[in-house]
Amino acid sequence: MPADELTVAGKRFRTRADYEAALRDQRKIESIKDQTNLNDPKQLYELFQELQSGIYRFETSVGNDFDDEIYEKIEALKKQGITAENAKNGLKDKKKTKKEKVKTSKKASPKNVSKKKLEDYDKNMQEQILEELKKQEKRRKLIVAVASIVAVLCFGYFGVYYFYSARTSMDYNELAALKGSDALSSTQEKNEFSLHKQSVKMPDILDEYKTLYEKNKKLIGWLKIDDTIIDYPVMQTNNNEYYLEHNFNQEYDKNGSLFLDCDCQIYPRSTNLIIYGHHMKSGQMFGQLQKYAKESYGKKHSVIQFDSIYEKATYQVMYVFRSQVYNENDMVFKYYQFIEANSEKEFNSYMQEMEKISLYDTGVTASYGDSLLTLSTCDNSQEDGRFVVVAKRIQ
């Protein structure tokens, strides 16, 4: 089939594989529309929740456009004051007619039902009734006790969760305030390290980060994306475990910290710097990173600022995709192993693999010699899933 004919839903695709993926998306969308009345608020909200939870996975921009269409319809409903809750209840629980109310009332309070007292039964029956009442009371007390314990545990869990969440937010606000401060800075240590048994002089730490570096020498940089909650220090240790559950102050913290892969080097710089962070329900750390799944959001937040402690740098989003942590022996592209590209052929191969699985085309490409930044977080839409944003350094 000629390239000009590789068109689906008004979109032209460059390869046969992309074209066939778009056809699969189109068939999936048609199936959804056959099963869903998009003019019914209740069904529309249910579909929106299914899309958000990852039940439907799209491979191309055809699917992403449909996702955006549903999102815009939901926003329109919200502007009309129609929420998911009142859409559900409003359509289910219509006002009863007077006749229905009368019927319900009659059923609820019949006139001719006689009420029996305990004394009306014989002695043997009375004993059985009292025994059953005692059992019911014991069950009730047991249920209340168990429910109370569960409630205390739940409140305790959420109390601890929100304590850590609030503390993390406060701590990082304080740390952000220390950027550029000389409150803790001291004479900079001799900045050297051994590379291949040769002493290599490191660049000077930027003045902006000297105070923070004195506070914790595991600081390696700072990541910021405008108009988002992402504005955090980035740490690095000799393993990828410690900062999963520790904050900048080295306290236990379920939010963890953003951290650079232990195999990456800031100086001399690795081809690709990979930064990991938890997908927190509170939105902290990389809790909002999956918003990049929407092309419209990606366009509005295409610029990422990542400063190492030695230099400032700006990046532009290039690829957005879902992946997973594979078994060691699986012969597939593993984005988390792409740190150094030792040849142009190897670099181009990595770029092709990421382009294939990218959720949409940003129009941004990279060439051998470019520096890359990768942001990675968990993705619950699949087992051991990961959501990934890859950006190219532009200055």
Is residue 108 over pLDDT 50? Answer: no
**Largest Cα–Cα distance of the chain, in whole Å?**
102
**Residues 250-254: what's their mean pLDDT?**
89
pTM of the predicted structure, to 2 decimals: 0.58
Q: Return all residues near 235 (Cβ < 8 A) that are at least 6 apart.
A: 216, 218, 219, 220, 243, 248, 257, 258, 259, 260
The predicted pLDDT at position 15 comes to 78
Alpha-helix residue ranges (DSSP H) falling in the chain: 16-35, 41-53, 61-79, 84-92, 98-108, 123-178, 207-215, 295-300, 344-357
Q: Where are the beta strands (DSSP E) in 176-293?
A: 192-195, 198-201, 219-224, 231-235, 258-260, 272-276
Question: Which has more pLDDT, 211 or 115?
Answer: 211
Is residue 118 over pLDDT 80? Answer: no
CA dihedral 30, 31, 34, 40 (to 10 degrees): -90
**How do the domains of the chain map onto residue ranges?**
3-84, 215-393
**Residues 285-300: what's their mean pLDDT?**
94
- Helices 41-53/84-92 angle, 10° precision: 140
pLDDT tens digits for 165-185? 555 656 677 777 667 666 555
The predicted pLDDT at position 34 comes to 87
pLDDT, the chain, mean: 83
**Residues 308-334: what's their mean pLDDT?**
95
For residue 368, how many other CB atoms are within 10 A of its CB? Answer: 13
Predicted confidence band at 334 (pLDDT cuts at 50, 70, 90)?
very high
pLDDT tens digits for 125-161? 767 777 777 888 888 888 888 887 887 777 666 566 5
**Residues 197-204: what's their mean pLDDT?**
70
Predicted confidence band at 196 (pLDDT cuts at 50, 70, 90)?
very low
Instruction: Give the span between the Cα atoms of 26 and 178, in whole angstroms.
Output: 51
Residue whose structure tokens are 């520096």: 371
Residues 286 and 278 sit within 8 Å (Cβ to Cβ): yes
Q: Which of 17-21, 230-234, 280-284 shows the lowest mean pLDDT across its residues?
A: 17-21
CATH among 3.40.605.10, 3.40.50.300, 2.40.260.10, 3.30.2290.10 for 215-393: 2.40.260.10
Predicted confidence band at 20 (pLDDT cuts at 50, 70, 90)?
confident
Q: Which of 179-188, 232-241, 284-293, 306-315 shows the lowest mean pLDDT across its residues?
A: 179-188
Instruction: Give the span between the Cα atoms of 279 and 288, in whole angstroms.
Output: 7
The DSSP bridge partners found for residue 260 are 275
DSSP 60-86: SHHHHHHHHHHHHHHHHHHHTT--HHH
Residue 62's Cβ-count burial label (10 Å; 0-12, 13-18, 19+) is buried
Backbone angles phi, psi at 388, to 5 degrees: -130, 135
In whole angstroms, what separates CA 70 from the centre of its chain? Answer: 20
Instruction: Give the span between the Cα atoms of 157 and 101, in whole angstroms.
Output: 44
Strands 314-324, 372-379: parallel, antiparallel or unpaired by DSSP?
unpaired
pLDDT tens digits for 25-65? 888 898 899 888 999 998 988 888 888 776 777 778 888 88
Instruction: Give the span between the Cα atoms of 336 and 148, in whole angstroms.
Output: 45
Q: Which of 14-23, 40-49, 74-83, 346-355 shows the lowest mean pLDDT across its residues?
A: 14-23
Residue 324, SS3?
strand
